[in-house]
Structure 1
């Protein structure tokens, strides 16, 4: 991972008549680049495709175009998680702010378009906000939008891969840290990896630090299947864009039309699985290596685990947290938990 910190101001894209305003806004945004190098990505991709059951990590979805496709997914009628979580935040944002602590340093992991954080920022009024995302362009756009909306907010935007050990632009004397991990992204981790991730976050926050985290709940299979197989095909395009990214960045030779999107609910594991399925026997060159695909063979690109409330709280306890409070919607589709670090 590239650990060289690059501090830069966000440049204005608006007309010159607003340049003075944006110079003032940009001065409150600092950008830190901990993004993986192309070499890091190459190693991870080749390792995943070399497994008996080929896999690629879901973080590869989020190049600039993939991030925009995901934003489009969140607005689809079938995709309930985003609008449900936003409504929970609107209904209970003041309570959440009381739990996290007014004026704290707030870290948001996987900030994306930052739609969800706006309600929380208004209630919490943190002295510093640290959005973290793997998509650099998307991160910069959302940081600028938040600087526009919250003119007194100091922002330290960090482009980083938080799926493994990661760095943050923190000061040694900061003590009142809190974190927000929205969108049920915790479901993308297998349970053992989810526990390890929560422990890493706990070490950053320290004993007494609080984590506000979105968790998708178990529900009717038909609702889940529809959410990941939308009628407009946006989720399919999102999944297939991963291959386009590998072609562009690693010189891979995937014929994108030679694969199809498949998503289904694995009842035994309580997870949605997303795959890219080969439409025929084919051979693909990726970064100098050749990979054979049989008809029907797939690349496993994402899991999205669904939890019961008690199941997730048990996982949190195993990672060194106490569950302080949980909020859900009226239909029990989604949950937001406030966890407190006991063991860092």
Structure 2
């Protein structure tokens, strides 16, 4: 029995088989339609995005269009899995896939399309769901597949997201333990153990990943701070050492960056007042931005100076967490 999940809007796709091939080709050359994969096209306005994060959103919509096209083109039984299923299920991703992952009951031919990764059918009906009308692996199976095969940072972003949706860590570990193929099990278990429902963005997960990779103490997500102005939360932190860590997303300082009508000037004033209240409560704030990816050791050094020497000396690189 499959579970039906209503998730996201998928771009409308037109197949060559259903229309005049020459006319479609001419429309593509004129820019009236966009080729998303072999034999499949999409109106450009279904892919185009505006504002902050435009490139990410367009890549996401294009990946969804490819999945939709392949779903329509395939005649045999199939279920989308791995990061393609994560995308359809609305989970957070660190990066958008350029290859579509699908489970099928038969072996791929030697001439299989380069934009498709086919996997052997190795699951039961309880591992299958339906998202936006498309068959996908269940939430738990999707996370476990990603944890076993993806870079651990990418897998941790997905695992954080699914815990935030309410799926229990124990469920993920049970699905992992039941997998007949043991490849990637140690890394997957580590990712699942480190997953945290408190992460509210992929960038917050990245900061925590870099801390954990170096064997430093596990930070608290959404650390509460009681201030004279009320209770605030920092993205990450160590309450015992009075350190709060905040990822500074520039999008909130742009007009309409968060939502229509969003006022960046007011956002700046609110953030300034909030940060002041937290500091008055005795918490030091270390701010992080995407630019810190250029020098991660320097970012870590800013955190380490607030930690006790014994915690720093005991830190060792985690061999299961590769550099990001």
Do the two structures share a fold, i.e. TM-score over 0.5?
A: no
Greater helix content? 2
> Considering only CA atoms, is the larger Rg found in Structure 1 or Structure 2?
2
Greater strand content? 1
Provide the TM-score with structure 1 as the length reference: 0.28
